[in-house]
Structure 1
Amino acid sequence: MAGISLKKVVKRFGVYEIIHGADLEVADGEFVVFVGPSGCGKSTLLRMIAGLETISDGTVSIGGRIVNDIEPADRGVAMVFQSYALYPHMTVEQNLSFGLRMTGHDKADVARRVKRSADTLRISELLKRKPRQLSGGQRQRVAIGRAIMREPQLFLFDEPLSNLDAELRVQMRVELARLHKELGVTMIYVTHDQTEAMTLADRIVVLNAGNIEQIGAPLDLYDDPANRFVAGFVGSPKMNFMAGRIVETNNGAAIVELVNHRGARLRKPAVDAPAVGSDVVIGVRPEHFFNAGEGDCDITIKADVAEHLGSVSYVYANAGREELIIEREASRQRANGDHLTVALRADRSLLFDKTGARVR
C-alpha cells in the first residue's frame, strides 16, 4: 500500500495548459474519487499518476518515491479502464494470468493469485468461460481481477462502470466498496457520476477546467460547498439557484430580495456581505424547501411536472426565468400547472456573490 502526493502538478499540450498546479495528498488506504464535468482534466490527472501521461511541471510521489521519470510498469500501480480490454480468445483464467505468465512468474504463485482474485470477486465459477459468455458486470469484475493479480500498491479506476446499465452500476458500486474494505489498498477513481462519488469516496476531489475547486468528505462537500460550482455539481438532483439582490446590511447579516419571487426576502448571516444593490444568488437543495409558513419566507411557484419515486416526488417548477426542483413527500405531489407555495429557511440556504464565491 502507498500514499500519493501531488505537488504543483501541471500538464501542458503545446501552449495549452490543461492542469493548473494541482496539489493533493492521498493517505495510505484511502478511497479518493475525482469528479467534474467532461474535459475538466480528471482523467488526465489520473493518467499522470499512472505514468501514461508525462508531467509538464511539479512532482508526483507514490509511497514517498517521486515517480515522474519512472515507467508505468514500475510504479506499483494497476489501472482499470472504461473498456474491459479482455482477450476474446482466452478464458477468464487465462485473461487473469496472462500478464504474470508473460513476465515469467512462478506457476504456483500465478495459480495462487488467480484463486485469490477469483474468490475476492466471486468469479471462481467463470474461470473456464470466455468473455463472450459473460455479462457486462462479469466482464468488469474480470478486468478488476486482472488488476488485483498484480497485487499493486495503488488502484486507479477510469470511469469503469460507465458501460453498464443502471442496475449493474449499483451492484458494482457495492462490489467496489466491498473490495476496498477487503484489500485496504489505496484507490483513486474517476467519474462524472455524483452518485458514484458520494457512495464510494472517503474524500472527493472536485475539478473544473483543470483546477481543483474543493477536496473533502462527500457530506462535507454537499453541506458546505466552497463555491457555486461545487454546490451545483455535487448532489443529485442538483442545487437550485435563485437570483437575489442585497437590499440591506446590518448587524453582520444581509437582507436578500429574491427578484423573481415578488419581493420575498431572506435574512442571511454574512460577515463579508457584498454592498447594498449587489446581485447575488441563493442556493437551495431540493429537500430544503418546507411547507408554507414553516420557514423564513414563502414563495409561490407553478408546478409543471412531478417525478414520482415512491416515497418522494420531485416537482419541476418555474418562476419567471428560474427553473426549480422541489422534493416533496409523495402524498403532497403536485403537477400540471398547479400553484404551490413553499417556504425557505435561512439556515438551509447558501449565499453566493456574482462571481460564484461563497458568502459567509
Structure 2
Amino acid sequence: MAGLTLKNVIKRFGALQVIHGADLEIKDGEFVVFVGPSGCGKSTLLRMIAGLEDISGGEIAIDGTVVNDADPADRHIAMVFQSYALYPHMTVRKNLSFGLTMNGNPKADTERRVAHAADILQINELMDRRPGQLSGGQRQRVAIGRAIVREPQVFLFDEPLSNLDAELRVQMRVEISKLHKQLGTTMIYVTHDQTEAMTLADKIVVLRSGRIEQVGAPLDLYDDPANQFVAGFVGSPKMNFLKAKIEAATSDGVTVALAADPGVRLKMPISSRPDIGSSVILGIRPEHFVDAGAGDADLTVDVDVAEHLGHTSYAYAAVSGEPLIIEQPESRHAADQQQLTVGLPAKRCFLFDAEGRRLR
C-alpha cells in the first residue's frame, strides 16, 4: 500500500493546457474520487498517475518515490477500465493469470493470487467461462480481479460502472466499497456520478476545466461548498440557484430580496459586506425547503411536473421563469398541485456573488 502526491502537475496537448497545476495529497489506504463534468480533466489526471500519459510539468510521487519517468509497469498500480478490456478468447482463469504469467511470476504464486481474487469477488463458478458468456456485472468483477492479482500499491478506476444498468451499478458500488474495506489499499476512482462519489469516497476531488476546485470529505463538500460550482455539482438533485439582490446590510448580516419575487426577503449573516443593490445568487438544496410558515420567508412556485417515488416526491417548478426542484415527503405532496408554497430557512441557504464566489 502507498500514498500518492501531486505537486503542481500540468498537462498540455500542444498549445492547449488541460491540467493547470494540480496539487493533491492522497493518504495510504484512502478511497479518493475524482468528479467533474465531461472534459474537466479527471480521466487525463488518472492516466498521468498511471503513466499512460506523460506529464508536462510538476511531480507525481507514489509512496514517496517520484514516478514522472517511470514506466506504467514499474509504478505498482493497477487500473480498471470502463470497457473491461478482457481477452475474449481466454477463460476467466486465464484472463486473471495472463499478466502474471507473461511477467514470469512463479506458477504456484500465480495460482494463489488467482484463487484469492476469485474468493474475494465470488467468481469461482465463472473461472472456466469466456467473457462472452458473462453478464456486464460479471465482466466487471473479472476486470477488477485482474487488478487484484497484481497486488498493487494503488488501484485506479476509470468510470468502471458507466456501462452497467442502474441496478447493477448499485450492486457493484457496494462490492467496490466492500473490496476497499477488505484490502485497505489506496484507491482512486473517476466518475461523473455524484451518488457514486458521495457513497464511495473518503475524499472527493472536484475538478472543473483542469483545475481542482475543492477537496474534502463528501459531507464537508455537501455542507460547506467553496463556491457555486461545487455547490451545484455535489448533491443530487443539484442545488437550486435563484437570482437576488442585496437590499440592506447591517453589522450582523445582509437582507437579500429575490429577483423573481422581490417580496421574498431573507436576512443572512455574512462576514463580507457586498454593496447595496449588488447582484447575488441564493442557493438552496431541494431537500432543505420546509413547510410554508416554518421558514424565514415563504415562496410560492408554479409546479410543472411532479415525480412520486414512494417515500418522497420531487416538484419541478418555476418562479417567474426561474426553475427549481423541491423535495417533499410523499405524504405532503398532492399529485395535482399547480402551485406550491414552501418555506425558505435562512440557515440552510447559501449566498454567492455574481462570479460564483461563496459569501455564506
Match for residue 193 of structure 1? 193
Range 317-326 or range 171-180, more displaced: 317-326
Give the AA of the match of 2:234.
V
Code of the residue aligned with 1:40 in structure 2: it is: C
Match of 1:128 in 2: 128
Q: Distance in 2 between matches of 1:216 and 1:292?
A: 34
Provide the residue aligned with 2:83 in structure 1. Answer: 83
Give the CA deviation at 1:336: 4.8
- SS of the equivalent of 2:340 reads strand
Q: Is the 8 A contact 1:304 1:337 kept in 2?
A: no
Q: What letter corresponds to residue 184 of structure 2 in structure 1? A: G
Q: Does 1:149 align with 2:149?
A: yes
Matching residue's letter, 2:48:
M
Whether 1:214 aligns to 2:214 is: yes
CA distance in 1, matches of 2:134, 2:339: 51
Question: 2 CA distance for matches of 1:26 and 1:113?
Answer: 27
Q: What secondary structure is seen at the aligned counterpart in 2 of 1:44?
A: helix
Aligned to 2:300: 300
Contact in 2 for aligned 1:334/1:340 (Cα 8 Å): no
Would you say 1:173 and 2:173 are equivalent positions? Answer: yes
Query: Shift in Å at residue 292 of structure 1?
Result: 0.6
Q: Distance in 1 between matches of 2:10 and 2:252?
A: 40
- Do 1:213 and 1:230's aligned partners in 2 also have CA atoms closer than 8 Å? yes
* Amino acid aligned to 2:213: E
| Aligned residues of 1:298 and 1:342 also touching (Cα < 8 A) | yes
Deviations 1:149-206 (A, max 9, x none): 1000000000000000000000000000000000000000000000000000000000
Offset from partner CA, 1:311-359 (integer Å, 9 cap, x none): 1101111111211100111112245561111110110100000000000
Secondary structure at 2:79 match in 1: strand
- How far has the Cα of 1:243 moved from its partner? 0.6
Q: Which residue of structure 1 aligns with residue 226 of structure 2?
A: 226
**5+ residue gaps in structure 1?**
none
Structure 2: which 5+ runs fail to align?
none
What SS is found at the alignment partner of 1:271? coil
Task: Tell me the equivalent position of 1:269.
Answer: 269
SS state at 2:182 partner: helix
Q: How does 1:1-360 map to 2 (within 5 A)?
A: 1-334=1-334, 336=336, 338-360=338-360
Paired with 1:195 and 1:306, the residues of 2 have a C-alpha distance of 22
User: What is the alpha-carbon distance in structure 1 between the residues aligned to residue 104 and residue 202 of structure 2?
Assistant: 37
Aligned residues: 360
SS of 1:358's equivalent?
coil
Provide the rounded CA distance (Å) in 2 between the counterparts of 1:8 and 1:273: 34
Q: TM-score, normalised by structure 2?
A: 0.99
Q: Determine the C-alpha separation between the residues in 2 that align with 1:2 and 1:273.
A: 45
Rounded Cα–Cα distance in structure 1 between residues aligned with 2:12 and 2:104: 38
Identity of aligned residues (%): 67
User: Per-residue displacement from partner, 1:48-75 (whole Å, max 9, x unpaired)?
Assistant: 0000010101000000000001000000
**Amino acid paired to 1:247:** E
The Cα shift of 1:274 comes to 1.2
- 4+ residue segments displaced more than 3 Å: 334-337
Name the TM-score, length of structure 1 as normaliser: 0.99
CA contact (8 A) 1:303 1:336 kept: no
**Worse overlay, 205-214 or 255-264:** 255-264
Letter in 1 for 2:316: Y
**Counterpart Cα distance in 2 of 1:334 and 1:350:** 28
The alpha carbon displacement at 1:252 in A equals 2.8
